[in-house]
Structure 1
Amino acid sequence: MARTAGDPEEPVAGAAGAPGTVGVVGAEGTGGGGDGSGADDGGPDGVAGFLARLTGLMLRTSGEGAELIAREVVAAGRALGAEVSVLLVMDTATLTVAVPDGRARTVIVHAAPEVARLDRIAALKPLVADVCAGRAGLPEAGARLARIEAAPAPYPWWLKLCGIVLFALGFAPLMQPTWYELGTTAVLAGLAAVLAVASDRVPRLARVLPLVASVLVSVVTLALFAGDPARGGPVLLMLPALFFFVPGDYLSAAAAELGAGLITTGAIRLVYAAFLLVQLCVGVLLGVYVTGTSTRALFDTAAEADLPRWVLFASWTVFTAGTVLAFAIPRRFFWTLLALVYLTVGVQSGATALIGETGGTFVAAVVLAVVATLLSRGPARPPRLLLVLPGFFTLTVGSLGMRGLTTLAGGHVVDGFSDLLELVLVVTAIAVGLVLGATLVPDRSGRREPPVRPN
């Protein structure tokens, strides 16, 4: 869940294709222009402006996949009296908005995807539902969307910092169930959290955040914490602190988009996720070079467990609390998310004991998708993405890629390729499981499939 671009600027009328921008590419039927700013009228300019802003916000919050954007935008446009077609890729959408009198506008929206502000996803769902049901016209919908865009984060910076630390601490026992792992993670995650919070205010840092964070964590780990092999390999000590930046969610979202037929979107997201993983790996290697450590030290051996079972059980509560704070999830959803996390862990553990790790991950993904889809029904319910995300994190797909690359860099070829092979299998299992789980639950929205152009 790499944080690489901070919180992008809100879309404004301007040159199409620039980050965080909306641009009117052309017009049909009138020969007129328009700035895409969303004037509150019923013509193509007003509807296209609103839908462009809506699409921009959806794109910016689409780190978990963009397959639902087209359906929501088309349904909202139809409710506002326009027919909309969508050409969608990972960070760009082209909307063609036509009104009954024959006038039309084509709008390009560009925004960098991320998952830092899930409160916006929660606020968008009832807005789209009201627009589609005819309860909110264009002026009201535009005003509500503006409030969502301008709303500050629900938690102050210091709570986000604490959330990132709790997020890492909850994940740490999965790497090594030792007290030493927890203590090391508390220090390293604190350093990574400071960088993550600082990047919200320093856009230049945000662009290289995974690299900078991995270098810092690598240097501190190798210099202070990795001296005794009995305490576990240095990669296992680093991973919990870097888990906030590992793009496991992007990997699975890419696989799911490929499976759903969004070829270009999925392929671009897959390349982007691989780039982020390599960036983290390079940062770890730079830390190795800075400290003068041999790359052979990047082994992947776990220490002997010494944590009691109650700590392992409670760690998922800590993990869920950290997820809520780190990703700006409204706190009213905490108990629902906690139940889904424990459900996912329980199903995965039970199924793994019966059919192996890959099969257990697949079954857990299916169950998570089915339950999340059922719980998300209704405009007042949490969005499905928000419900799936914390449970998905427990499947730990991203750590496999990080471990595989760093183990390969350390010269442990067999172990490295073994981790990467497991990564491919688990990514596929999660993606197919989530798609299957969503397919098993019938859609009761009553909306027709949108005219999404092949990409």
Structure 2
Amino acid sequence: MGVNEVMTTAGDARGPDAEVVDLVAGLVRTLLASSGEGAHLIEPWARRVAEAYGHQVSLVLVPDGAVVAVGAGAGAGTDGAMTLKVTETVTVAVRAVPEVFRLDRMVALKPLVEEMCAGGLPAARAGRRLRQILHGRAPYPWWAKAVGIALFALGFAPLMQPTWYEIGSTAVLAALSAVLAVAADRLPRLAKLLPLVAATLVSVVTMEVFARDATHGGPVLLMLPALFFFVPGDYLSAAAAELGAGLMTTGAIRLVYAVFLLVQLYVGVLLGLAVTGSSTRRLFDVAAVSDLPRWALFCGWVVFTVGTVLAFAVPARLLPALLLLVYLTVGVQSLATKAAGETAGTFVAAVVLAGVANVLARRPAGPPRLVLLLPGFFTLTVGSLGMRGLTTLAGGHVVAGFTDLLKLVTIVTAIALGLMTGATLTARRADLARS
């Protein structure tokens, strides 16, 4: 839906090209739909594309929408650079629900943006290719996404408790979560309540089947791997990064939305306790004795990365690079944590991850930074602290609960600042000038 706004100024610059307006609005819509990790790319990419076609653009962003004003430009400045003298702008309202579940779109979008910015690609043809990206099918069938969610949880399970029992229970619970997630793609009503429904089902099965013996660890630790796909740790860190970068509106709204998703999971766990007649006092957070060999812990990251590729629709050709970044992040975090503590270790790991991803993403044909960051980011496990803190508080363990919540705030900030620092240290001067 567009609304023309005519502005009369000196000069006779032409009005904006309708094909360019449609192209820029479509680009913003596609970026919004993939902006679960943050909206920082939207304005720079839209500005570059508009300028490549002789136009200028200004944006007002919120996480699920944007007002896009596109104007034609003409004329030359005293320094020889193009100046944009606007006599008419076309304003378009764009809406899209932010997510991170179709990263194949971002992988296909980056080379298209580079081709548009290089010149020679007509706006009409670029618009058709953009629509193909936005409405194209996922690279994997629905069952592959279900398998990916299960592998994603299984790879994460040893971080909660390095036991065979944790892996076995996660296999069952993650299968339930995967079925719900795939079903939600076809059932819009379920999609709106997916975190709540998934947490309730996982809580019921955990309390009735897997948490009867305290020697296997706390119920929350048994539940979390199967719910990790729904935990908004990425939204929390993206919100902190946006606030730190000065994107106040998007950062604040995303933070509220992340907390809302986290509370849905928390309420779902409590509903599961009510259904099973269990007391909240059972929500203790004590890990069982480890019985996993080191090779299983090492191989768990392979399972986790393969699951990430399938669950988030990342092209399979990027698996080696993502696996390298996962092991790099884990290695740096482990070494830095031993040397300087958990907060410093997380910060250093985030700096290294962001820096390496920034360098790898510089190539026009290379994958976008978001895709390179995501698996490594998940290894920092920020979102699970919020769930553990809330459920531990509900169980009456006040000190442990507030300790987890305090760690959540600290680690979220450390990750966000680390990602910003790494990106800034490795950014090119041209990129800094455009930002």
Q: Offset at 1:445?
A: 5.2
1:235 aligns with 2:236: no
Counterpart-to-counterpart distance in 2, 1:330 and 1:407: 38
Equivalenced residue count is: 418
Report if aligned partners of 2:156, 2:300 keep a CA contact under 8 Å in 1.
yes
Question: 2:231 is matched with which residue?
Answer: 246
User: Helix, strand or coil for the counterpart of 1:378?
Assistant: coil
| Other structure's SS at 1:221 match | helix
Correspondence for 1:20: none
Determine the structure 1 residue equivalent to 2:412: 427
Q: Which moved more, 1:107-116 or 1:308-317?
A: 107-116
1:42-121 map, 5 Å: 43-100=16-73, 102-121=87-106
Deviations 1:65-121 (A, max 9, x none): 001110000110111111111111211111111113722101111111000100000
Query: By how many angstroms is 1:448 displaced?
Result: 4.8
Whether the 8 Å contact between 2:68 and 2:93 is mirrored in structure 1 is: yes
Q: Report which stretch shifted further, 195-204 or 140-149.
A: 140-149
Whole-angstrom distance in 1 between the partners of 2:63 and 2:131: 23
Confirm or deny: 8 A CA contact 2:241 2:416 kept in the other structure.
Answer: yes
- The residue aligned with 2:324 is 339
Residues 226-375 of structure 1 correspond to what in structure 2 (within 5 A)?
Answer: 226-375=211-360
Matched residues in 2 for 1:115 and 1:222: separation?
Answer: 31
Task: Say which of 378, 389, 392 aligns to 1:407.
Answer: 392
User: Normalising by the residue count of structure 2, what TM-score does the alignment of the two structures yield?
Assistant: 0.94
SS in 2 for 1:153: coil
TM-score for both structures, normalised by structure 1: 0.90
Distance in 2 of aligned mates of 1:183 and 1:129 = 46
How far 1:444 sits from its partner (Å)?
Answer: 5.8
Alignment partner, residue 36 of structure 1: none
Q: For residue 416 of structure 2, what is the amino acid of its counterpart?
A: A
| Other-structure match for 1:16 | none
Identity %: 65
Measured in 1, the distance between the counterparts of 2:345 and 2:40 equals 25
Greater shift in the superposed pair: 82-91 or 343-352: 82-91
Name the SS of the counterpart of 2:229 in structure 1: coil
Q: Which moved more, 1:95-104 or 1:441-450?
A: 441-450
Q: Which residue of 2 aligns with 1:24?
A: 2
Q: Which runs of 5 or more residues in structure 2 are unaligned?
A: 9-13, 74-85
Contact 2:22 2:127 in 1 (8 A): no
Task: Name the structure where helix makes up a greater proportion of residues.
Answer: 2
- TM-align CA RMSD: 1.4
The whole-number CA distance in structure 2 between the counterparts of 1:292 and 1:135 is 67
Deviating more after overlay: 98-107 vs 109-118: 98-107
1:29 Cα shift?
4.6
Whole-Å separation in 2 of the counterparts to 1:150 and 1:361: 37
> CA–CA distance in 2 between the matches of 1:326 and 1:115?
10
| d(CA) in 1 for partners of 2:135, 2:198 | 29
Q: Unaligned stretches of 5+ in structure 1? A: 1-22, 31-40, 451-455
